[in-house]
């Protein structure tokens, strides 16, 4: 049977068109369109009452939904009345009175509710939470023995079990080599081709990348000329011959141990690697103990024998420039080059540029950026399967910041958000955090605040694909409604780490994921930090709290930036417009109306 709705004809005998008709009715917001269609269908109902009767009933149901009274505010905003209602008598419940112990109560899963009068009739089912130190009253209509707050927190924190989960449904096109590993191979092959010297294995993974031992001036000069360039002897311009006496006996240079650390692109040395001498000594001692295997033990023995014969050490940092896999530079075949710097010294100048490979696209490799991006993608999919409502990252244009944010199913007093730090690796599960990341909620608050204010390394968030809003800006504007004081960052959020173990280079094994708890700030623990990783946390707009007012240059930001929103919460009255659906993120005052934005014609605040 053919039915016309909103100017479009649908054939109900065709399943796809019947579904399209149902979707059109569900999304219709004009009641008069439904009235016209219902009147027309009543004349068609003769002889085919079954189909038309079903469609008419479906349209009348949608008509009643549109006629349902809605809560309307004088400012012109229209909201659905989605307040919680008593399961027994359907009386509306006010969220502000949750937890007072008498007005209304919820089940442990926060899906069923009972008002105070109905609870009086079922007093035997109103019980105290069994968790030590809580004692909150709840409606015991399920088998759970804890209140909704304790149940929600224990549910989410219980997902962090330090158990490796194999993501078998994830398919990866894993490149053949890890960028860092292949950079070592390229540099080793380059040195071997130029000097006929081969590297000695003394450690694995997080140890010394390459070790060469030269014996005599010829081998030493050959290696140094490759990395630093030939030494230049100054030419004398004097008319008189030099009176410097030449030595009859010039001592030959003995053995020299060259320890080399290879870094790709802008990768930085770790905290341990910055003290190069201590790092090298520690790794050689570990290798001599057999911690890195038999090959490393034999290599460390060769190094120790050279040390016993008076060999000296020279430390080199090789920075390899490798175009990212899949980028335009990679596709066009840009060369892979390397420059030598002193390892462990500040202010050292680089040596000559070495061309390790003329065309980078002649090999296939994956770099650290590929590993990080892939790890975050897998972590997002993993967390979505666990039931987290993923909202997006809070990162600057270089990808640094908070990796993943998620909205939690919550009560008015339980944690509302979850923040995740993702660590991906191909060698093992990487669980260590950077120094600033060890500050947990203080680190997250600092990065989110800077992203909201477009300051520091987040200045570039304002310009993003024309008039579109940067995903980070959209995320922070959403989450800041729930964080009106620094204390809320500690009580209204849960913090997790996600460790992703990707397949080895060249392998196509399924990746593995671990969900771990993010430890509380180190600065609040028993061991005080020598240096604060976040010198001046950004407590913008949080005047009157227990935290001190910023004293650095960030303090120039007005402490009244976050003004009370007329419908609760706070909004940024300097930057983002609070009108729902408006993408304006920079306030420009109108000439005659200084409180109205010239761009979007909305009031950004008072």
Q: Which helix (H) or strand (E) holds 341?
A: strand 336-342
Of 170, 166, 165, 157, the residue nearest 516 (C-alpha): 157
What does the pLDDT look like over 331-386, one tens digit per residue?
Answer: 788 888 999 988 887 766 778 889 888 887 776 666 677 788 888 999 999 999 99
pLDDT of residue 571 exceeding 50, the answer is no
CA distances from 415 to 157, 379, 411, 438, 555 (A): 11, 21, 8, 20, 29
pLDDT of residue 569 exceeding 70, the answer is no
Distance between CA atoms of residues 341 and 175, nearest Å: 29
Q: Are 583 and 592 in contact (CB under 8 A)?
A: no
Most confident listed range (136-140, 227-231, 359-363, 463-467): 136-140
Q: Are 378 and 167 in contact (CB under 8 A)?
A: yes
pLDDT confidence bin for 493, thresholds 50/70/90: very high
Q: Three-class SS of residue 532? A: coil
Q: Give the rounded percent of residues in the chain with a pLDDT score beyond 70.
A: 75
pLDDT confidence bin for 44, thresholds 50/70/90: low
Structure tokens at 133: 């130190």
pLDDT number for residue 551 = 38
pLDDT number for residue 405 = 95
* 435 against 198, higher pLDDT: 198
pLDDT of residue 464 exceeding 80, the answer is no
pLDDT number for residue 384 = 92
Q: Are 445 and 540 in contact (CB under 8 A)?
A: no
pLDDT confidence bin for 500, thresholds 50/70/90: very high
User: What's the half-sphere exposure (Cβ side, CA atoms, 13 Å) at 273?
Assistant: 18
Helix axes 471-479, 441-453, angle to 10 degrees: 120
160 CB neighbour count, 10 Å cutoff: 18
pLDDT number for residue 587 = 65
CA distances from 291 to 270, 275, 277, 308 (A): 20, 21, 19, 22
What does the pLDDT look like over 19-34, one tens digit per residue?
Answer: 888 888 888 888 888 8
Q: Which of 118-132, 567-581, 592-606 has the lowest mean pLDDT?
A: 567-581
Q: Tokens 């400012």, residue?
A: 75
Distance between CA atoms of residues 434 and 442, nearest Å: 14
* 368 against 410, higher pLDDT: 410
pLDDT number for residue 417 = 94
Output the 3-class SS for 51-93.
HHHHHHHHHHHHHHHHHCCCEECCCCCEECCCCCECCCCCCEC
Q: Three-class SS of residue 166? A: strand
Of 375, 446, 433, the residue nearest 404 (C-alpha): 375
Q: Taking residues 257-277, what's their average pLDDT?
A: 87
Distance between CA atoms of residues 454 and 451, nearest Å: 5
pLDDT confidence bin for 237, thresholds 50/70/90: very low
pLDDT number for residue 513 = 93
pLDDT of residue 535 exceeding 70, the answer is no
pLDDT of residue 567 exceeding 70, the answer is no
Q: Tokens 């990162």, residue?
A: 395
383 CB neighbour count, 10 Å cutoff: 22
Could you state, in order of their start, the residue ranges of all structural domains in the chain? 2-67, 72-92+141-228+252-264, 268-443, 476-500+537-544+556-562+573-605
Average pLDDT for the chain: 78
CA distances from 467 to 225, 452, 581, 586 (A): 53, 17, 13, 12
Q: Taking residues 435-446, what's their average pLDDT?
A: 86
Q: Three-class SS of residue 284? A: helix
Most confident listed range (74-78, 309-313, 469-473, 482-486): 309-313
What's 269's DSSP letter? -
pLDDT number for residue 583 = 58
What's 517's DSSP letter? E
Strands 562-564 vs 312-321: parallel, antiparallel or unpaired = unpaired
Q: Which helix (H) or strand (E) holds 376?
A: helix 368-386
What's 444's DSSP letter? H
Give 39: exposed, middle or buried? Use CB within 10 Å, 0-12, 13-18, 19+: exposed
User: What's the half-sphere exposure (Cβ side, CA atoms, 13 Å) at 388?
Assistant: 30
pLDDT number for residue 514 = 93
pLDDT confidence bin for 245, thresholds 50/70/90: low
């Amino acid at each position: 049977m053919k039915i016309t709705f909103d100017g479009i004809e649908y054939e109900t005998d065709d399943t796809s068109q019947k579904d399209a008709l149902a979707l059109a009715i569900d999304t219709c917001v004009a009641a008069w369109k439904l009235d016209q269609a219902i009147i027309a269908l009543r004349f068609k109902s003769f002889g085919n009452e079954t189909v038309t009767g079903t469609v008419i009933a479906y349209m009348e149901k949608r008509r009643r939904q549109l006629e349902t009274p809605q809560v309307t505010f004088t400012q012109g905003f229209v909201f659905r009345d989605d307040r919680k209602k008593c399961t027994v008598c359907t009386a509306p419940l006010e969220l502000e009175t949750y937890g007072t112990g008498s007005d209304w109560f919820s089940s442990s899963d926060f899906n069923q509710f009972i008002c105070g009068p109905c609870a009086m009739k079922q007093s035997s089912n109103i019980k105290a939470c069994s968790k030590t130190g809580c004692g909150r009253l709840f409606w015991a209509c399920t088998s759970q023995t804890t209140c909704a707050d304790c149940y929600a927190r224990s549910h989410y924190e219980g997902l962090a079990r330090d158990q490796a989960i194999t993501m078998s449904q994830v398919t990866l096109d894993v490149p053949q080599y890890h960028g860092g590993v292949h950079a070592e191979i390229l540099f080793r092959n380059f040195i071997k081709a130029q000097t006929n010297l081969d590297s000695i294995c003394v450690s694995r993974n997080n140890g010394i990348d390459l070790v060469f031992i030269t014996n005599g001036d010829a081998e030493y000069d050959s290696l140094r000329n490759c990395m630093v360039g030939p030494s230049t002897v100054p030419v004398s311009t004097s008319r008189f011959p030099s009176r410097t006496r030449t030595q009859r006996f010039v001592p030959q240079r003995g053995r020299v141990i060259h320890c080399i650390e290879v870094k790709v692109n802008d990768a930085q040395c770790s905290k341990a690697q910055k003290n190069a001498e201590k790092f090298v000594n520690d790794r050689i001692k570990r290798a001599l103990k057999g911690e890195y295997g038999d090959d490393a033990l034999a290599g460390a023995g060769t190094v120790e024998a050279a040390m016993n014969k008076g060999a000296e050490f020279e430390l080199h940092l090789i920075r390899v420039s490798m175009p990212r896999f899949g980028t335009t530079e990679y596709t066009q075949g840009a060369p892979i080059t390397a420059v030598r710097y002193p390892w462990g010294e500040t202010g050292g100048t680089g040596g000559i540029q070495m061309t390790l490979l003329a065309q980078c696209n002649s090999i296939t490799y994956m770099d650290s950026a590929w590993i990080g991006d892939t790890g975050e993608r897998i972590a997002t999919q993993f967390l979505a399967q666990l039931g987290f409502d993923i909202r997006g990252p809070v990162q600057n244009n270089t990808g640094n910041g908070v990796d993943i944010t998620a909205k939690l199913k919550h009560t008015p007093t339980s944690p509302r958000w979850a923040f995740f730090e993702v660590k991906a690796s191909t060698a093992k599960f990487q669980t260590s955090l950077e120094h600033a990341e060890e500050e947990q909620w203080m680190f997250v608050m600092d990065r989110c605040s800077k992203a909201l204010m477009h300051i520091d390394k987040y200045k570039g968030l304002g310009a993003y694909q024309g008039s579109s809003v940067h995903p980070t800006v959209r995320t922070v504007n959403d989450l800041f409604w729930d964080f009106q004081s620094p204390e809320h960052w500690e009580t209204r959020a849960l913090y997790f780490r996600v460790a992703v173990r990707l397949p080895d280079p060249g392998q196509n094994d399924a990746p593995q994921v671990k969900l771990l708890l993010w430890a509380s700030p180190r600065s609040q623990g028993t061991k005080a930090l020598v240096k604060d990783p976040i010198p001046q946390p950004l407590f913008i707009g949080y005047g009157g709290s227990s935290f001190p007012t910023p004293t650095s240059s960030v303090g120039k930001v007005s402490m009244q930036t976050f003004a009370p929103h007329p419908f609760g919460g706070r909004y940024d009255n300097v930057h983002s417009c609070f009108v729902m659906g408006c993408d304006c993120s920079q306030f420009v005052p109108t000439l005659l109306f200084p409180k109205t934005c010239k761009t979007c014609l909305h009031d950004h605040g008072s």
